[in-house]
Amino acid sequence: MTFGDHAALDAPTRAWLTERALPGLSLSDVRLLPGGFTNDMRLVTTRQGERYVLRRYLSSGTRMRRNNCAVESAVLERAAPTVPVVDVVASDPYGSATGRPALVYRFAEGIPLSRALAEHPSAAGAAELGAAVGGVLARIAAVRLPRPGPFHDPTLVPAEDGDGAADLPDFVERCLATGGAGHALTPAETDAQTPAEAHALTPAEADALRALAARTAHRVADVSGHSRLVHCDFNPKNVLVSRAGGRWDVVAVLDWEQAFSGSPLYDIGNMLRFSPLYPPAFVDGFVSGYRNAGGALPDDWRELSRILDLFTLADILTAPPDAECFAQARTVLLSHLSEE
């Protein structure tokens, strides 16, 4: 067996893979996959030429609530009849075999939507991409759940006192207080370096974010009674697409760790957060595709979806995965403030 850099498996995980998860198959190669910010992701190739992804759940310091392996497996099973998701073949939901919760699913052939958009598709191609993604989001939003709130166990029945209307100002304050690289700069730090160099908000920007959350928090209650499946990280990096027969289609929606029961407008805000970076035809196609597939939008959906996305935006601004993402999120914040 060969291994990519730092991808060697510990003995319990290797035994679980070969004896229980993929019985009858022998492994030929294991490599780390990029993009696993909160979990350990590895591409496993068998001597039979089949490819799988091993997802091992790590402890995370992010402020966004994350589902455990057992809950994410249940979400995938619930969505699978109508939504393109990865094909799970095995799970060790509580780490009883490997020492760490783990999930194995078939590798999905496709490219991230982010890459497809970066390759400058034609207006027609961008609109087609948008329509395909919007249609899939409508199918996600069509999954009904008993009540709003986060999932606590594999039954996917939120607690009766679940967060139907989370406290936006409180969440923003917690992000600013616990931020890592994206904490708010002190006045001394502001004088010493620019926000772009520090990957952090200035004190004035942090105060503006607080004020924005306070001014718009009452709108979160407008969707507090909604109980549809929400991905909550529905962005171009988590949507795999492919082009077959001359048409774009969605292969799989990845990473359901943050899924909960609520309003589809959270996912719309997530997908359109960086919409100025996308071809205009993609955004138009996305909205049309969502509506044409049965997705309902209120008259003020743009404003409301942007307000709901402040939860994720605050998380990115105060704990960005990289400098580029922070710069993009900061531009979005400044745009919100200028439009107000």
Which pLDDT value is given to residue 61? 61
292, 135 Cβ separation under 8 angstroms: yes
Neighbours of 129 (CB within 10 A): 29
Please give the domain boundaries of the chain with CATH numbers for all domains: 2-106 (3.30.200.20), 111-164+224-308 (3.90.1200.10)
Give the integer Cα–Cα distance in Å for 177 and 154.
32
Looking at the chain, list the stretches that DSSP marks H as alpha helix, in order from N- to C-terminal side. Answer: 11-16, 69-79, 113-118, 123-141, 168-178, 187-192, 195-198, 203-216, 265-271, 280-292, 301-308, 310-318, 323-339
Query: pTM of the full predicted structure?
Result: 0.91
Which pLDDT value is given to residue 314? 95
Query: Alpha-carbon dihedral of residues 76, 77, 82, 84, nearest 10 degrees?
Result: 40
Give the integer Cα–Cα distance in Å for 182 and 175.
9
* Token output for 140: 């996600």
Which pLDDT value is given to residue 179? 81
Mean pLDDT, 10 residues at a time, over the chain (340 residues)? Answer: 65 93 92 80 94 90 85 97 97 94 96 96 97 98 96 93 74 89 46 54 96 96 95 97 93 97 98 96 98 97 97 94 93 90
Which pLDDT value is given to residue 331? 96
Give the integer Cα–Cα distance in Å for 155 and 153.
6
Q: Residue 147's closest CA among 167, 163, 134?
A: 163
Give the integer Cα–Cα distance in Å for 219 and 222.
5
